[in-house]
Each structure stands twice: as structure tokens, then as C-alpha cells.
Structure 1
Amino acid sequence: MALGSPAKTSEKPAKADPEPVYLTFDTGHMAIAPFVAEVLHRQDVRVTFFAANEATKEGDGALGSHWAPWWAARGREGHAFASHTYDHAYWRGDLPARGGEPLRFRVRPTAGAQAGRDLVWTADDYRADIARAADRLRAITGVAPLPLWRAPGGKHSPALLAAAREGGWAHVGWSSAGFLGDELPSDRWPNEQLLAQALRDVRPGDILLAHLGIWSRRVPWAPEVLEPLITGLKARGLRFATLREHPHFAPWIAAHQA
């Protein structure tokens, strides 16, 4: 070795910390919920659940007494929770303000006593339905829900989002590549295609969306896709985090979490 030349070293460069993705689940018929919980526990993955009191294949609704022990167990495991509106109320349009009337919205709940009916709610009505789901989550998990919500079907307007934010609720959608496709018809979107697409397209920082059971999908998504998706994204050097860590939402959570 020439005098003054740098000595060789066998040290390898330090690996970069894995970058996060944010897996989220909306409620559904709940039949696959025990399987989802098993996979998340086995893979040591924490997710964010957006919950509404949707109709279920077993029990008295996703937030009813039948499923309360399931939610409590997820709370003990360190998952995060947020509102999906209690009555799973789809926004269908804004109503123009007239005179001194408050801002109003056309909605159609798919759960609760008024499921399937077209209703008119004020901003206070909609905020109350967001809060009701969050309050129920707190009661059955023992965990403070995040001051976040997700509109059923992702349907909303700028006025609805602003009304929710006035009540302390920030809306969470999902990334384009994070739409995992479990709502799509399984004859046209088979599970192997959805898995390959997600493993190819998901990028660091993406918010991923799946459900705890979709009534219309004939071949369930989660039993064939969930664990291979998790292991495949881990193999790409990604890790899973809850929305508590999301750089866009973390300041809002710190400022608004009760």
C-alpha cells in the first residue's frame, strides 16, 4: 500500500431506516375482522381503523356490543382509531344557504334507523355524527381516537370538509396507489392482479385503504392479499405506521386530540 493512501475498511454503510406507509381500514361487514387482526399481530403491524356502525354479518353493527371486545383488543395492541361517521352517512350534495339558514347538506346514511333515506343535515348534524363514532370508539377501546375522519365512499365537498375542520376534524383520504381495490368486482379485478398492482405501485408515504369486509365482492380480498402485501412491502424496505406519525396530520393531531 502506498504511503499516505487511505486504509481499506470492511465496514458496510449503515442502512437507511425503513420509510413508512400508512395502512388504514374502514369498517364493513366485519366477517374478516378476526383474520385481519391475526395477520396484523403476526406481522407486528399497526394500522389506523376508521369506524362506522355499519351493518355486519354477525352482531349488532360494527360498533355494537358484539364487536366491542374485538375493538378493545385492537386498542391494547396499539392500533389507532378514527371516525367514519357513526351512521356511515354519504354526502350527496350541498344545499345553497337561504336567508339566515345554516349550511346544510344532503346525506344518505347506510346504517342506523334512517338507513337508505335521503336526509338534510346541518353542519352541526354532520359533525355530531362524526363525533358519535369517535365517542363510541373511545368507550370500547379505552384509547383516545384521532381527531380525524374519513367520509364514506370518499364523498365530500369543500364546504363539508371546512365544516368538519371547524369542529376539530381533519379529513383523511388515500393515495392513488393506496386504493387496494377490495371494493371492486372480483371477476374483473382478481386478487392476484390487485396484489401485483399494489406491490408495484405503492410508494413511501402512501396512505393505503382496505375494508373489514365488502358485501359485494364474491372472492374476499384480505385472505389472499393482506399478508402477501405486508410481507412484500416490507421486502421493499417499507414499514407500516399509524396516522399518528404522518407528517401532514401529526401537527393537527397534537393540536386537537382531546
Structure 2
Amino acid sequence: MRRRGGLLALVLASSGAWAQPCAKPVYLTLDTGHMGVANFVAEVLSRQQVKVTFFAANEKTQEGDGSLGSFWAPWWKARAAEGHEFASHTFDHVYWRADLPGEPPAFRVRPSAGPDAGRESTWTAGEYCAEIARASRRLQEVTGRKPLPLYRAPGGKVSPRLLAVARSCGFLHVGWSPSGFLGDELPSETASNPQLLQKALREVRSGDILLAHLGIWSRKDPWAPAVLEPLITGLKSRGFCFVTLRDHPMYREWVARGK
């Protein structure tokens, strides 16, 4: 019996079923961007055995037909096979601009991608919900895996009314921790990669949600090739471990209920 029990323990340990609990979790999230660093990011995550949560919109890309287009579909499918998680970032990367007065709820919005990029318009609650769900459906198409019932508004710009509408159609909003803002959107001239790396290693705390992107058009000195792997190894050396939002205490129950 002892030998059989030892064998069972070995099998469970190797499968992850008896994995040690993570005492200092951090939740690395990656939003879409121009995708120019996507393959590099995937290589680093695989090499470091780190799982992340991707928030995806169909943004303009350096190569291909948009980050959720057919060109990048195999890339997303490969990330699903590796065990990463996915969630909506709105399909056309739609920024909330303002709540409009009155009932039913309506919002002023401005997409930064798609046919209406750069144009401000008014959306009903139903139109906003449909936009979140559209990215989620596309993610399921290209990954073969059901995305998390979560979303991130572009720029993190929301209002209590917008959040209530999103929740009513099945999506909880995910922002990021103040110390989890990794700074890849900032100008390289004023926020160098070494500065951003040291700031993150100094300030990140257990439980933080970290934010970076799969390429930022405006940054002259790309963040990921210089910072991503040193950040991961540096946090690991400080006792941190990387967990997806499926297991975040704020979202775990919502995800498990399949909202």
C-alpha cells in the first residue's frame, strides 16, 4: 500500500493536482496591441512556465489583419494549448467617454479600431454589452476555449453605471493594481526600461494585478524585449508566483459560476 500511495502521490504531483499553494501570487495580464512582440512574449512565457490572462481586442497590427483576425488566430490557439486564459477587451477597443443622463442607460464612446475608429458616438447598454461579447465570442472561435466572463475597458476608463451594465450582461470588469502598472505605455524618453524594471521589482506586492501589452505603437524603445523576462525572474527570486485571473479571489466565484 505504501508503494501504491507513493506512486499515486508522484502522479498527482506531476499532474499539478497536489500543487503547493501560491503564498505570494501576482496576476500578469497582457492586453493586445500591435502584436510586434507577441512571439517574443510567447517564448518568454513558455520558457519561464508562466501563465497569464490575455485581454483581447481586434486592434491594428504591424502584420496581419488585426489582433483577432485570421493571421493571428493560430497564435491565440497555441496560447490556449499552453493553458493561458482569455477575456474581452471590447472588439473595436472602445473607450468609454461619458454617461448620458436619463434612462435607459446610454454612453458616449469612441473606438480606436474598426470602421468607426476615432469617431465618437452614442451607444445603448445593449450595444455596449454586444461589443464586450463580440470579442469574447471571437476569442472562443480562435482558441477553442471559453473565455473568462471578465473584461477590461480600454484605458481602464469606466463609470459605476457602465460597470453595472456590463455586470448585468455577464461580465465583471478587471482593472490593475497601482503598483501593477508596468509602464509600457509611457514614453521611453521619460520612463526608460531599466527604470520601469526596477520600479516594478521594488513596488509589486502579493495579490497585485499586473498590466502590460503586446506592443505599444508610441513607445520608441520597446518594453517587452528588455523588461519582461528580467521582471519575471526577478519576481520569482523574491518568492512571487504567477497565477491567472481564474484563481483571483475577487473573480474566482464569478468564474466558477460560469457567469
- 2:45 alignment partner, one of 9, 25, 40: 40
- 2:240 maps to which residue? 238
Helix, strand or coil at the partner of 1:210:
strand
- 2:135 maps to which residue? 133
Q: Which amino acid in structure 2 is aligned with residue 116 of structure 1?
A: G
- 2:170 maps to which residue? 168
Distance 1:142 1:16, change over 3 A: closer
| Pairs within 5 Å for 1:1-258 | 17-97=22-102, 102-257=104-259
Helix, strand or coil at the partner of 2:28:
strand
Q: Mark the structure with the bigger radius of gyration.
A: 1
Aligned mates of 2:258, 2:21 — CA distance in 1: 32
Q: Which runs of 5+ in 2 are unaligned?
A: 1-19
Structure with greater helix share of residues: 2
Instruction: Provide the TM-score with structure 2 as the length reference.
Output: 0.91
Q: Kindly report the root-mean-square deviation, in angstroms, between the aligned alpha carbons of the 2 structures.
A: 1.1
Q: Which amino acid in structure 2 is aligned with residue 74 of structure 1?
A: R
Q: Which amino acid in structure 2 is aligned with residue 26 of structure 1?
A: D
1:16 CA displacement:
8.2
Distance 1:17 1:173, change over 3 A: closer
Helix, strand or coil at the partner of 1:256:
coil
Q: Which amino acid in structure 1 is aligned with residue 70 of structure 2?
A: S
Helix, strand or coil at the partner of 2:141:
helix
Distance 1:63 1:192, change over 3 A: same
1:256 CA displacement:
2.9
Aligned mates of 1:256, 1:18 — CA distance in 2: 26
Q: Which amino acid in structure 2 is aligned with residue 256 of structure 1?
A: G
Q: Which amino acid in structure 2 is aligned with residue 174 of structure 1?
A: W
After the TM superposition, which parts of structure 1 deviate over 3 Å for at least 4 consecutive aligned residues?
A: 15-18
C-alpha offsets along residues 83-107 of structure 1, whole Å, 9 cap, x if unaligned?
A: 000010000001101xxx5211000
Instruction: Provide the TM-score with structure 1 as the length reference.
Output: 0.91
1:254 CA displacement:
1.1
Q: Which runs of 5+ in 1 are unaligned?
A: 1-14
Helix, strand or coil at the partner of 2:179:
coil
C-alpha offsets along residues 29-63 of structure 1, whole Å, 9 cap, x if unaligned?
A: 00000000000000000000000000001110000
Aligned mates of 1:111, 1:254 — CA distance in 2: 32
Aligned mates of 1:160, 1:61 — CA distance in 2: 26
1:255 CA displacement:
1.5
Aligned mates of 1:256, 1:240 — CA distance in 2: 23
Helix, strand or coil at the partner of 1:252:
helix
